[in-house]
Amino acid sequence: MRKYLARGVAAGAIALLALTACSERSGDGGGEEAGSAKGFAANSLIGVALPAKTSENWVLAGDLFTNGLKEAGFQSDVQYAGATSTVADQQAQISAMVTKGAKVIVIGATDAAQLTTQVEQAKQAGATVIAYDRLIKNTKDVDYYVAYDNFKVGQLQGQALLEGMKAKKPNGPYTIELFSGSPDDNNSGVFFDGAMDVLKKEIDAGNVVVGSGQKEIKQTATDGWKAENAQRRMDSLLTSTYSSKTLDGVLSPNDTLARAILTSVKGAGKPLPVVTGQDSEVESVKSIVAGEQYSTINKDTRNLVKETIEMVKALQAGNDPKTNDTESYNNGVKVVPANLLEPLIVTKKNVVEAYANDPKLAPLTTGAK
């Protein structure tokens, strides 16, 4: 089983990736075990601290937590960090949840490295802390992690990029550009490392060329996961590097950035490259059906929230919640027991099947085959 030290992508912190380091192997695979569950009242308060509403999935998650916790008999306090000063907002929200006596606090971190004080406060107050979707770093006080397998997400994105380019042009070499997520999001580095686990051997062999030469994660990062930042960088790349050569593909870490990249390419009047994504956003599913964005990753938020609430229910009953990985997710201080869900790559070939049971997305796939 792979082991790696999950980490952020702060500027200047990461050197040029090497294949042997892509998955950040941890040395011992050990770490503190999560504290044993003690149980608590069935109508207890459960806190949920989520980032700003920067994507459809965060908005959906908040609604699902509110409704799902109520149906399970709990009281809930579901909060979003604001559009500005998000870290300070979330820090204050978590502290308030501790003061209110929340028995479990679920945290989708705005900044994985800046919540250690609040997580410690929660533990001292007797609360269990579950990191949701994004691992919280550098603290012994996070108990569990629930997420889709984000390293595999990156691997699937790299795989999709290669397959999509080969389908359009059977023989290489292929010229690509690399984009990654926000430096303050721990997942950005994990996605990128997973993708490079697939792409780097092709780059080293000369089958794939990064046209701009920008291969370091600090060069490819997109502050705040903001579409305008991705579009601005793509505009610059097209001007500086692609005045006379063809861009075959772009590694995009999510759907919002994928659409911004495609908007930039369209604006420049260039042929559309193969562009990856993630999150199954409505506009990107439409784009895949239309043959523009090549792929996305389906990480059904409904299942992720459901698994999280099941963890809360187990804790309430005094049981240990389900985990299926106790080796991979080292936050810098401990290996956090994780419940990982399987992501699914989606292209036009399988879009109908992938969303057949999704009432929001299934109608969008009509005519895809």
Annotate 241-283 with DSSP letters as a single string.
Answer: H-SSS---EEE-SSHHHHHHHHHHHHHTTPPPPEE---S--HH
pLDDT beyond 90 at 265: yes
Q: What is the Cα–Cα distance from 149 to 164, expressed in whole angstroms?
A: 22
Same domain, 312 and 189: no
How many Cβ atoms from other residues are within 10 Å of residue 219's Cβ? Answer: 17
The count of domains in the chain is 2
Identify whether 40 is part of a domain: yes
Q: What percentage of residues in the chain have a pLDDT greater than 90?
A: 83
Q: How far apart are CA 99 and CA 45, in angstroms?
A: 11
251 CB burial (10 A radius; 0-12, 13-18, 19+): buried
The answer on 89 and 184 residing in a single domain is no
Encode pLDDT of 123-172 as tens digits.
999 999 999 999 999 999 999 999 999 999 999 999 999 999 999 999 99
For range 17-43, the mean pLDDT: 49
Predicted local distance difference test score (pLDDT) of residue 24? 34
Q: Which of 206, 132, 156, 131 is nearest to 176 (CA)?
A: 206
In a domain, 265, yes or no: yes
Partners of 325 in beta bridges: 338
Contact present, 276 and 258 (Cβ < 8 Å):
yes
Take residue 338 and report the two structure tokens written for it.
Answer: 């994780």
Q: Are residues 85 and 169 in the same domain?
A: no
Q: Is the pLDDT of residue 36 over 50?
A: no
pTM for this entry: 0.81
Asked, for residue 293, whether it belongs to a domain, the answer is yes
pLDDT in tens, 207-255: 999 999 999 999 999 998 999 999 999 999 999 999 999 999 999 999 9
Q: pLDDT band at 11, cuts 50/70/90?
A: very low
Structural domain contains residue 279: yes
Where does the pLDDT of residue 26 fall: very low under 50, low under 70, confident under 90, or very high at 90 and above?
very low
- The CATH number covering residue 319 comes to 3.40.50.2300
CA dihedral (286, 346, 348, 210) positive or negative: positive
| Domain contains 12 | no
Q: Tell me: do 167 and 241 sit in the same domain.
A: yes
| Cα angle for residues 120, 123, 125 (degrees, 5° grid) | 110
- Whether residue 290 is found in the same domain as residue 336: no
**What is the overall mean pLDDT for the chain?**
89
Q: Which helix (H) or strand (E) holds 344?
A: strand 344-347
Beta strands in 59-181, from DSSP E residues, in sequence order? 75-80, 104-107, 128-132, 144-148, 174-178
> Do 72 and 126 reside in the same domain of the chain?
yes
Both tokens of 31, joined, read 């770490």
Q: State residue 178's pLDDT score.
A: 98
Mean pLDDT across 3-23: 37
Q: Report the alpha-carbon distance of residue 31 to residue 34 in Å, rounded.
A: 9
Mean pLDDT value across residues 106-119: 95
Are 264 and 308 contained in the same domain?
A: no
Let me know whether 328 and 184 are in one domain: no
| Lowest mean pLDDT segment, chosen from 8-12, 39-43, 52-56, 75-79 | 8-12
Beta bridge partners of 355: none
Domain housing 270: 150-299+345-365
Q: Are residues 164 and 283 in the same domain?
A: yes
Tell whether 225 and 215 lie within a shared domain.
yes
What's the one-letter identity of residue 282? V
- What's the pLDDT score for residue 84? 65
Examine residue 50 and state whether it is found in any structural domain, yes or no. yes
245 lies in the same domain as 336? no
For position 85, what pLDDT does the model report?
59
Nearest to 114 by CA among 140, 91, 98, 84: 91
Residues with Cβ within 8 Å of residue 264, at least 6 apart in sequence: 230, 231, 234, 235, 238
- Across the range 77-96, mean pLDDT stands at 90
What is the model's pLDDT at position 369? 64
Decide if 11 is inside a domain: no
Q: Residue 311, SS3?
A: helix
Is there a domain that residue 162 lies in? yes
Please check whether residues 305 and 315 belong to one and the same domain: yes
